[in-house]
Chain A
């Protein structure tokens, strides 16, 4: 199992390495950077949701904590961006413990409720604490990251850096899944009673994975701030948490590769739809952006209906089927 995942990571790394040579346009590179950031958040969310079976509606808030920590510590206090990023992750992890402690002790989806409230509060604070966060007008002039004297000042460099983070994140996640701790988490998802009868400390393990998952989101938020160099509360509302959960669910919650597939698909979908609208315009068919939601919903519906285990699993099964059919044809001759 483990070996297969490492091949997968190698395969992804090869694609990532080649992509900037195929995509010359900075605009598309930018979209692929956002895709990487969503993948990073979804890796953490998938560990929590798909493996430990706990629902968090609060990941938009951890993104916000990461982004605002990076923005504020660098612009207001003059910190080094890496230190600000680390501080953001530390704050997110402490906050995750505080939110998780009272709710993860309980059985049932109390974490979803608590994090829903938490995400709303964080968003309101970003909007309303004008003195600190700049309110709706946000924070600008966020410095770029630099690495070993290289400033990450071109989209290609940022692209490589963000995707390297995704690959590192995947490596950590894959190792965790195939370890004693990872099996404990999956056991909690399967049956909390049975897991605790085998010695799994379900409360502590649930909090740990929630904290790790918050750290992933915070990192992604920080990278976002240092890429766009200007942040406002807009992207950090609760609906973004819903979108993240949708990404993980569409890709398939039982596999970390599902999270990557789902995050990539839903990050690229808006671009696909604008292609569609251009294409239709050639045939004099008018496509309005209002239809986006409709197409979007339709795609999700079809995936969930025909691939209940998610897109990744669905694609894997259908490829396996095609191979099998081909094999049978070959034997027939």
Chain B
């Protein structure tokens, strides 16, 4: 490997047990900066658990998670997002009662500072900051193509748009790494193509993208690297071409 390909996220002997079930079994995994990497595997292989461990939603049983060499293990989700990791959810979690724009404005939470007392008493003092928040939220909506729906209630948007909205919200965080949990699930063919284009665009912004996805066409199309897990262990890793030719993967997941 050349020196330009540096590792951004590294997972060392990561393990998660739920009672007697081992969901993630001493997994070693690393993700390259600037790449689109995919995590694939059969249902129940532990992919989402890996996401939840890295983003702090679950505490690991043992093992280590490093972001640029910095230990993330055991940190709370809001601390981890502050360190530059954004994510979306497998079952979309937009804030349904808020407008599309307000959803994305929440994504600017860490990039603004005003506390409760100032917010209550000095609304004039907030104007410049509010304006900045609104503008950058709008540009994130533009990036995913939802700007014209800014004032719509988020809960009333179709699923595909809600997935896009979640990504816009994640982009507003200005993360170094964005985790997408099944971004194409529930999307029709046309929307899936749009999602692939969007992921390419995010990569072009310099953001490392890591996704879990079942749509193999999409995965093989957009990924620089693919990692295959089964029963919580890594069974193969490589470029989409290598993975498609790997007999073990075909046996476990892709099918002949």
Q: Which residues of A are at the interface with B, using a C-beta cutoff of 8 A?
A: 2, 172-173, 175-176, 178-184, 186-187, 189-191, 193-202, 208, 212, 254
B63 within 8 A of A: no
Residues on A with beta carbons closer than 8 Å to the beta carbon of B57: 193, 197
CB under 8 Å from chain A, chain B span 190-217? none
B45 within 8 A of A: no
B120 with A184: CB separation less than 8 A:
no
Residues on B with beta carbons closer than 8 Å to the beta carbon of A196: 76-78, 81
Q: Residue on B with the closest CB to A175?
A: B123
Closest chain-B Cβ to A212's Cβ sits at a distance in Å of 7
Closest chain-B Cβ to A163's Cβ sits at a distance in Å of 19
Closest chain-B Cβ to A63's Cβ sits at a distance in Å of 21
Interface centre among B77, B81, B82, B166 (most CB of A within 10 A): B77
Q: How far is the CA of A1 from the CA of B25 in the complex (A)?
A: 51
> Quick one: given A184-B106, A187-B106, A198-B109, are A175 and B94 in contact (CB under 8 Å)?
no
A208 with B116: CB separation less than 8 A:
yes
A198 with B110: CB separation less than 8 A:
yes
Residues on B with beta carbons closer than 8 Å to the beta carbon of A212: 116
Q: How far is the CA of A183 from the CA of B169 in the complex (A)?
A: 13
User: In the complex, which range does the number of interface residues on chain B fall in?
Assistant: 35 or more
Can you list 24 A-B pairs, Cβ within 8 angstroms, ordered by A?
A172-B120, A172-B121, A173-B120, A175-B119, A176-B119, A180-B109, A180-B129, A180-B133, A181-B116, A181-B119, A182-B119, A183-B102, A183-B105, A186-B106, A187-B95, A187-B98, A190-B94, A190-B97, A191-B94, A193-B89, A196-B78, A197-B57, A199-B110, A200-B78
Closest chain-A Cβ to B114's Cβ sits at a distance in Å of 6
Interface centre among B81, B120, B166 (most CB of A within 10 A): B120
Looking at chain B's contact residues, the main secondary structure is helix
B33 within 8 A of A: no
CB under 8 Å from chain A, chain B span 123-143? 123, 126, 129-130, 133
Q: How far is the CA of A198 from the CA of B55 in the complex (A)?
A: 11
Q: Residue on B with the closest CB to A191?
A: B93
B78 with A186: CB separation less than 8 A:
no
Residues on A with beta carbons closer than 8 Å to the beta carbon of B95: 186-187, 189-191, 194-195
A195 with B116: CB separation less than 8 A:
no
> Quick one: given A198-B81, A198-B173, are A179 and B106 in contact (CB under 8 Å)?
no
> Quick one: given A183-B98, A186-B97, A189-B97, are A200 and B119 in contact (CB under 8 Å)?
no
B89 with A199: CB separation less than 8 A:
no
Q: How far is the CA of A179 from the CA of B116 in the complex (A)?
A: 9
B120 with A175: CB separation less than 8 A:
yes
Q: How far is the CA of A176 from the CA of B55 in the complex (A)?
A: 29
Residues on B with beta carbons closer than 8 Å to the beta carbon of A190: 93-98
Closest 7 CB pairs of A and B: A190-B95, A179-B119, A199-B110, A191-B93, A196-B77, A194-B93, A172-B120
B77 with A197: CB separation less than 8 A:
yes
Q: How far is the CA of A254 from the CA of B105 in the complex (A)?
A: 19
Residues on B with beta carbons closer than 8 Å to the beta carbon of A2: 123
B60 within 8 A of A: no
Interface centre among A182, A199, A202 (most CB of B within 10 A): A199
Q: What 0/1 readout, one digit per residue, does chain B (87-109) give for beta carbons within 8 Å of chain A?
A: 10100011111100010011111
Closest chain-B Cβ to A173's Cβ sits at a distance in Å of 8
B112 within 8 A of A: yes
B97 with A181: CB separation less than 8 A:
no
B115 with A194: CB separation less than 8 A:
no
B41 within 8 A of A: no
Q: How far is the CA of A181 from the CA of B76 in the complex (A)?
A: 19
Residues on B with beta carbons closer than 8 Å to the beta carbon of A208: 116
Q: Residue on B with the closest CB to A190?
A: B95
A199 with B78: CB separation less than 8 A:
yes
Residues on A with beta carbons closer than 8 Å to the beta carbon of B116: 176, 181, 208, 212
The one of B82, B102, B120, B129 in contact with A199, judged by C-beta atoms closer than 8 angstroms, is B82
Q: Residue on B with the closest CB to A205?
A: B116
Besides A197-B57, A201-B76, 11 more A-B contacts (Cβ < 8 Å) are A172-B121, A173-B120, A175-B123, A179-B130, A180-B130, A181-B116, A194-B166, A196-B78, A197-B170, A199-B173, A200-B78
Closest chain-A Cβ to B171's Cβ sits at a distance in Å of 11
Q: Residue on B with the closest CB to A199?
A: B110
B86 within 8 A of A: yes
Q: How far is the CA of A200 from the CA of B109 in the complex (A)?
A: 7
Residues on B with beta carbons closer than 8 Å to the beta carbon of A202: 78
Residues on A with beta carbons closer than 8 Å to the beta carbon of B76: 196, 201
A198 with B169: CB separation less than 8 A:
yes
The one of B81, B105, B120, B126 in contact with A197, judged by C-beta atoms closer than 8 angstroms, is B81
Q: How far is the CA of A173 from the CA of B116 in the complex (A)?
A: 10
Q: How far is the CA of A178 from the CA of B188 in the complex (A)?
A: 36
The one of B78, B94, B97, B108 in contact with A201, judged by C-beta atoms closer than 8 angstroms, is B78
Residues on A with beta carbons closer than 8 Å to the beta carbon of B123: 2, 175, 178-179
Residues on A with beta carbons closer than 8 Å to the beta carbon of B93: 190-191, 193-194
B120 with A198: CB separation less than 8 A:
no
